[in-house]
Amino acid sequence: MSDKVFNVLFLCTGNSARSIMAESILNVEGKGRFRAFSAGSHPKGAVHPWAIRTLEALNCPSSGFGSKSWDVFAEPGAAHMDFIFTVCDDAAGEACPVWLGHLATAHWGIEDPAAVEGLEVEKGRAFAQAARYLRNRISLFVNLPLATIDKLSLQEQLEEIGRTSPSAG
């Protein structure tokens, strides 16, 4: 199992910010052990410019992403997902996508930085905070002992990760 590359899908409503950032961050932090994807239930059609700027600031890939429907991952021949995480924040009234199946899933809700209005500095701050949450949670995830953890413990750990705050820094 140590040679297995795990496919991970990050779902959000618009697939323009949080899920895109999570995809890029995991593809870096996962060091080849994970292959990340992202999609949305109601894709915006374009990646938010602040998501791109934030990824660049983190030295993560920032190009080649597109806002797409989660339907592409339900088509015949689509890659099988080992993990699916929703990153929308249902506490803010968003409708999070639901993905049915017998997969390891968890909700890692993060406030939508794309919804922040105001000065550019406020938008940048919101995207930086979302990225800190994502990076911290992804770091915890990639360090789980996936080869030895049982399914129930894994599910508990994934849910606990979704409740963590960003690390300082």
Kindly list the catalytic residues. 12, 88, 96
> Collapsing DSSP states into helix, strand and coil, what is residue 102?
coil
Burial 86-105 (b: 16+ CB within 10 A, else e): bbbbeeeebebbebeeeebb
Q: Which residue has the tokens 């992403």?
A: 65
Q: What is the 3-state secondary structure (H, E, C) of 152-164?
A: HHHHHHHHHHCCC
Secondary structure (DSSP) of 127-159: HHHHHHHHHHHHHHHHTS-TTT--HHHHHHHHH
Secondary structure (DSSP) of 40-88: ESS--SS--HHHHHHHHHTT---SS----BGGGGTSTTPPPPSEEEE--
